[in-house]
Amino acid sequence: MIGSPFSHSPDASVSRIMLTLLAALLPAVALHAVLFGPGIFISLILCSVFGLALEVLMLNLRGFPAQPFLRDGSVLVTAWLIAMALPTLLPWWVYLVGMGVAVIAGKHLYGGLGQNLFNPAMLGFTVLLVSFPTLLSTWPAASLLAAHTPSLTESLQLVFQGASSISLDAYTMATPLDNLKVNLRAGLTIQQGWWPTIGAREWVALGYLAGGLMLIALRIITWHIPVAFLAGITLTALILKLIDPAHQAGPFFHLIAGGSMLGAFFFATDPVTAATTPIGKLIFGALAGVIAVFIRAFGSYPDGIGFAILLMNAAAPLIDAYTQPKVLGHTRRRRPGASE
């Protein structure tokens, strides 16, 4: 039996959905290239090549023909999502490890597309975040703020040789979430004159928002999870801000910082690993947003989007089991173990 996602439209094939998802990422890709240089294209190409090669390898090991499965485009969506979630100009092997975790552990060990418990791209990214936290904190600075923006040749040298005449400090800088965590740990407060500012990376978040709205308009995804996810972030950040205004950033900052928009529209809405009932989607999205803000506020990692979504992926089957709508003409089945 083939698992979810299921389609009720003859035009909504898996390949068409995946192609639309790639198109929805293009606004963010364009903004990233303009604001941070050509490194994003290297990341996209490397993740795509590694993903396709690993997909062919796993299909051959499992005894499946490669060509029909490569046509669905799912591995390219996974590759692009990992590339967009990671800093650019990382050593090439980091992208290989991330794609290996995503394709092998996240997808094929569960049985392939439609069978996986966790979002493969989110799993690959989070494993890299836990394994190589220092590497994943070297985010490129915006072209207007960097002392030097690496050219395409210099970018390739950084990725494949790991050495360059460019000082690391010349083209990298901390993200707003990193600044938030570091300054709060240093004892600074907002009342003392420090405030986590937003920058070019948050403009890229607007690209994810535009792509996400396109997906909703085309009915590739529904509004439930993104709206609930962003509402969970907003309400949690607002409550924490009211409780401790000296040490908590406001809702607007949390909405546009880090991976909030990317997570809301592209990771959390995966139809295989998210809740599928209307009420379940709202619960899934809201809890993911709440968990993400709590990790940002009290955890060791600046951003908690990946951990929050993976935790909710694990909870999605249970959420669906308890939020099934009543079937017309049938009484709701009593839960196992419920008293008479």
What secondary structure letter does DSSP report for 331? P
Does some domain include residue 121? yes
What secondary structure letter does DSSP report for 135? G
Length of the chain: 340
Report d(CA 37, CA 153) in Å as an integer: 12
Which residue in 117, 33, 104, 110 sits closest to 75, CA to CA? 104
Pair 118, 209 in one domain? no
Which residue in 102, 58, 65 sits closest to 80, CA to CA? 102
Pair 162, 208 in one domain? no
Does some domain include residue 334? no
Total domains in the chain come to: 2
Are the CB atoms for 273 and 32 separated by under 8 Å? no
Are the CB atoms for 303 and 296 separated by under 8 Å? yes
Does some domain include residue 126? yes
Are the CB atoms for 316 and 5 separated by under 8 Å? no
Which residue in 224, 200, 202 sits closest to 212, CA to CA? 224
Pair 151, 190 in one domain? no
β-bridge mates for residue 140, sequence order? 172
Pair 122, 3 in one domain? yes
Pair 197, 61 in one domain? no
Decide which of 173, 197, 229 is a domain's last residue: 173
Are the CB atoms for 266 and 83 separated by under 8 Å? no
Pair 197, 219 in one domain? yes
Report d(CA 206, CA 203) in Å as an integer: 5
Pair 103, 241 in one domain? no
- pLDDT (tens, 9 = 90+) of the chain, 340 residues, equals 344 554 444 445 888 999 999 999 999 999 999 888 888 999 999 999 999 999 999 999 999 888 888 888 899 999 999 999 999 889 999 999 999 999 999 999 998 888 899 999 999 999 999 999 888 888 777 766 666 677 788 788 888 887 665 666 666 666 777 777 777 676 666 655 455 555 677 789 999 999 999 999 999 999 999 999 999 999 999 999 999 888 888 898 889 888 999 999 999 999 999 999 999 999 999 999 999 999 998 988 888 999 999 999 999 999 999 998 877 665 655 555 555 4
Are the CB atoms for 268 and 229 separated by under 8 Å? yes
Does some domain include residue 337? no
Q: What is the pLDDT of residue 264?
A: 96
Pair 91, 225 in one domain? no
Decide which of 173, 189, 211 is a domain's last residue: 173
Instruction: Quote the Cα angle for 188-198-176, to 5°.
Output: 50
Report d(CA 30, CA 1) in Å as an integer: 40
Does some domain include residue 53? yes
Which residue in 204, 209, 225, 217 sits closest to 268, CA to CA? 225
Pair 156, 198 in one domain? no
Does some domain include residue 330? no
Query: HEC states along 129-184?
Result: HHHCCCHHHCCECCCCCCCCCCCHHHHHHHHHCCCCCCCHHHHECCCHHHHHHHHH
Report d(CA 292, CA 230) in Å as an integer: 10
Q: What are phi and psi of 172, to 5 degrees?
A: -125, 160
Pair 8, 137 in one domain? yes
Does some domain include residue 335? no
AA letter at 57: L
AA letter at 162: G
Pair 166, 182 in one domain? no
Q: Look up the domain containing 228 and give its range.
A: 174-323
Pair 11, 147 in one domain? yes
Report d(CA 16, CA 258) in Å as an integer: 29
Decide which of 139, 173, 207 is a domain's last residue: 173
Does some domain include residue 336? no
Q: What is the pTM of this model?
A: 0.87
Tokens 């173990």 sit on residue: 337
Dihedral sign for Cα atoms in the order 117, 120, 125, 128: positive
Report d(CA 235, CA 244) in Å as an integer: 14
